[in-house]
Amino acid sequence: MARILVVEDEPRLRKIIRDFLSAQGYEIVEAGEGLSAVRKALDHQPDAVIMDIMLPGIDGYEAARRIREDRIVPVIMVSAKGEEVDRLKGFEAGSDDYMVKPFSLRELHARLKVVLRRGGEAQPVEQRWSHLVFTVDPLRRLVYSRDKPLPLTDLQYRLLMLLMGRPGVVFSRDDILDRLQEEDHESLGRTVDAHIKNIRKLIEPDPARPRYLLTRWGAGYYFAEKEPL
């Protein structure tokens, strides 16, 4: 069963949440303030966090941000009634949902199930991985070429991950447009070809003669499976 970190400074409310979720079969880890929440997240590696915003010491936003520096984990932010919820701030901190007190325990459980399911499906590979001379750090969304970080834009990063993640598989321009727009609605603006060209400038020793990001004429683009001779 999933392990949930419940962060709430009000002991009575924390106990109510703990007892309810334990009864549903979850394993519960508790914290009463922000710093201990960060420490407990490290020690216990929860599958999701229920995070009160107003906490002694560092607040819930900051605690969530620090927890997610270590590992991507779904976070449900909880604010008191009447508190202004800064959604943007919450999403920067990586929260996946919000609840306003008082909430029903059933609603909490329903939302928890949603973020746990989402986390299980859409979880990107978080560990560093390497392909040929490149190393990818998914948590920081960075790609290194022979240990040198590449100054990729977010769109270039996603395009590169699409291709490098499945070496040898040819993606047509339409495939690429579909995949990238599916993830968010950022307009690709310029054509795929132009983006490929810009990525080549960053990753290829000689962009005019690509070794890694290759063209299959009439079909599309693919990433080299092996180091070219």
Nearest residue (CB) to Ca ion, 54 versus 169? 54
Query: Minimum distance from CB of 130 to Ca ion (Å)?
Result: 43
Query: Minimum distance from CB of 9 to Ca ion (Å)?
Result: 5
Query: Minimum distance from CB of 89 to Ca ion (Å)?
Result: 16
CB atoms within 10 A of CB 82: 7
Nearest residue (CB) to Ca ion, 4 versus 159? 4
CB atoms within 10 A of CB 200: 19
Place of tokens 């070809």: 193
Nearest residue (CB) to Ca ion, 13 versus 142? 13
Backbone angles phi, psi at 37, to 5 degrees: -60, -45
Token reading at 137:
């750090």
Check if the beta carbon of residue 151 is closer than 8 Å to that of residue 143: no
Q: Give dist(CA 7, CA 34) in Å, integer.
A: 8
Nearest residue (CB) to Ca ion, 9 versus 86? 9
Nearest residue (CB) to Ca ion, 47 versus 52? 52
What residues make contact with Ca ion under the rule CB under 5 A?
9, 52, 54
Which residue in the shown chain puts its C-beta closest to Ca ion? 54
Q: Give dist(CA 169, CA 173) in Å, integer.
A: 13
Backbone angles phi, psi at 147, to 5 degrees: 75, 0
Query: Minimum distance from CB of 220 to Ca ion (Å)?
Result: 52
Backbone angles phi, psi at 184, to 5 degrees: -150, 180
Query: Minimum distance from CB of 71 to Ca ion (Å)?
Result: 24
